[in-house]
Structure 1
Amino acid sequence: MLRSWYLKSRLLGVLLAVVAAIGVSLPAASRAAAASLTQITNFGNNPTGLQMNLYVPNSAKANAPILLALHGCQGSGPYLYSSTDFGSLADQYGFIVIYPSTNPGGSCWDVSSNQALTRNGGSDPVGLMSMITYTEQHYGGNPNAVYVTGESSGGMMTNVMLADYPDVFKAGSAFMGVPYHCFYTNSVRGWNGPCAGGQVSMTPQQWGDLVRSADPGYTGPRPRVQLWHGTADTTLNYNNLAEETKQWTNVLGASQTPTSSDTPVANWNRTRYANSSGITQVEAYSVVGAGHQLPIQGTQMAAYAIHFLGLDGSGGGGTTGGGTGALHAVGAGKCLDDPNSTTTLGTQQQIYSCSGAANQTWTHNSSNELTTTVGGTTLCLDANAKGTVNGTKAIVYSCNGQTNQQWNLNANGTVTGVQSGLCLDVSGAATANGSLVQLWTCNGQSNQQWTLG
């Protein structure tokens, strides 16, 4: 049966062969030994008898953000904790993670019934909301900084929670999911074969209307959405990524065509969809060759998710600008510097001892530009002559809105050109004052690592 086939499909481990297939081999983040997963009982209204496990890192901030992390079929909260990097990222950045488990254990989430697909309608979403409220009341979680992520059935439930409770969540990241309401069967934990097989297609307006029907009358701001899918997924067909993208771009008033695209990691094709203000609302990752096992532990997938959500302190993946300050060259311990505060167009940029001066102050704005203002003149960091080859000079030039002046500040510390996909690089890994800055193929070295602010 399709249902049992789907349950069996959720892998209990990550295959190294798949890691190799998508071209990523970064080391796993190390988990700090201190805090542990804690089971919580009697957390409030829980119509389906869900179980709640909570991870509060020793580094938890006052008024800490909350991440709701949802497992897939045959999984559990503790399994998701041990098989993904969200816990170690919580150690690093001080946010709280809720790891729920379905009832009966190992079952899929209810994303198919009328109760689940309606705000406060009952079923699993009500219990999940009780966990969030409990965490806010008993662990000091910040009600204005609540986020959700999930894999497979948990990716489906991520979309459901964003639709049912748009006022609760600031953003969500769904791995290997399907659009909200795509799995509807009018039964609890039903299986929808056509949706799983990628055979359900609607217009953006139709998909968007379904989301709006989950909480009729709601007119407030809605959470930004990040979506992930492997091109070789045989459990939940890859076509679902395009349908999810249509749905959320419609709901969020974003462009139906990508406003930028790049490949931040080999075989990760990323597209972004901005609203009329130039702010990214939807971000989609197509992972070439990957099957039904995202996010792959030990890669940067979870880190890219929490960067988009803003849980690493970035403000949300550069989607709201990313901030203003010095752009620090990590390997050299110096700052990106406009030589002698020049306004001469075409001047190649350098690194220099950090001084806090205007010629070392950069703003990453909602148009993905990196700008500096010297002598009353605002200039953009620019790939010289629209170059896309190694050694292209990083210069300053009059801002013109073209893609050779657009830069992604990535979760792994790289700054990549939207047009070229190349990394901002200190030439020759030099560390001396006056060392020149260029574009180069991303290689993971410290001379390509940058922090803003």
Structure 2
Amino acid sequence: MKIPHVWRRLRRSLRSTTPARAGAAVVILLGALVTAGTAAGPAQAATQGPCDLYAAGGTPCVAAHSTTRALYGSYNGPLYQVRRASDGSTADIGLLAAGGYANAAAQDSFCSGTSCVITVIYDQSGKGNNLTQAPGGGAAPNPDNLANATSAPVTVGGHAAYGVFIPQGTGYRDDHTNGIATGDQPEGMYAVLDGSHYNGGCCFDYGNAETTNHDDGNGTMEAIYFGNIKVWGYGSGNGPWVMADQENGLFSGVNAGYNANDPSVNDRFLTAIVKGGPNQWAIRSGNAQSGGLATDYSGPRPNVNGYNPMHKEGAIILGIGGDNSNGAAGTFYEGVMTSGYPSDATENAVQANITAAGYTTSTSAGATGELHAVGAGKCLDVPNASTTAGTQVQIYDCWGGTNQTWTHTSSDQLTVYSGSSQLCLDASGKGTTNGTKVVVWTCNGQSNQQWHLNGDGSITGVQSGLCLDVTGAATANGTLAQLWTCSGQSNQKWSLG
């Protein structure tokens, strides 16, 4: 345990965060110390995970899901299962070491040359609350899609991993759970999400839902919601917001409606928390890379019939609403559900554990240079320095021109100066299917112009989850770029700078 290193890191984190998100310094120090050592060695793990901290606080995990890391210091089982398209075979993806990080290389090897979907997200708590393909429900009668296994590459603790990328129509569920709160029983939950991937659809949730897959009335759910829908509750700014889905309402505060204290949050990695007990519930949120948690709401239940007492049913959902409303989008990395109402101090320690885990992307905002197509040995190029919106980009011999010089911005745009015009890399027509053209367009801040530059060299579109791809793996000048299912092949590897 490298305590001096952790102490220096903690002091920098506390100096760089606002008081509202600083949390309790003593508790954060405790959480940081028990997670020290994440950078020591190729597979070194935290000595404790979030669920060890919840247990120490008297509110043990009853479900623990992650595709990126162990959530207990001693866990050494599978994190998730993938199924490949070529032959329908499945494989469990485990850890590099007990209590450590996902063995992404095992997935890469198993899925090489084909595509894979995530079929199971295993419960690490030992209670068997595994998440699998969501069946049809009242809002959408057919089973939901499964997530592409490579659409959310990420780096955690210096190790490659994959999150769960959920576009519209995709969702996971467990209707037959063990130990999840029912009725008015107290519980807590957190999720680490991609704060830049969201929409205004209903409903990107993680948490407690109906076992019937239908809307069973007020108070039959208690789940984390993330997005910018304003049909029910909403917070300050334009969103997105962390809110609570308590059925027939997304609540940002005591009632459906506006809560000025629930801020818009768009941290690249976001910690979202909801907890609830008899006539008491809270929302908390924070940056999953640094700093503490803010309390966005803490108070009584909605003063509408059905919410006090609650009527929770104890299913678990991910990416959908309780009645299988599947019009939302988001990305999930890890999350848990607890028995009992966790204290703020326990959650502060968990937040310190999350920030110490080291979620990151490989290329920082502000990086500028040629965008090299690794497999072709050429550069991403705006043909003839065109200033026409909709021009499809290509690969071409690198020569250092402005039409080959790209900047990765803090809002995940890739900008280029072509002629005298600044343009953005854009998924044409907001396409989300294989073969969608990748073009330049006037910058507008929409999600089809946001790109994640990942630790494995891939570049994924935030809206689609597909990879920036050199068509046909060709190497000739003038070969066009497109979106395609991430495959790990060299024609989807890029280097900026």
Q: TM-score range by the shorter chain?
A: 0.3 to 0.5
Q: Which structure carries more relative contact order (alpha carbon 8 Å, separation 6+)?
A: 2
Structure that is richer in strand per residue: 2
Higher helix share: 1
What TM-score does the superposition give when structure 2 sets the normalisation length?
A: 0.39
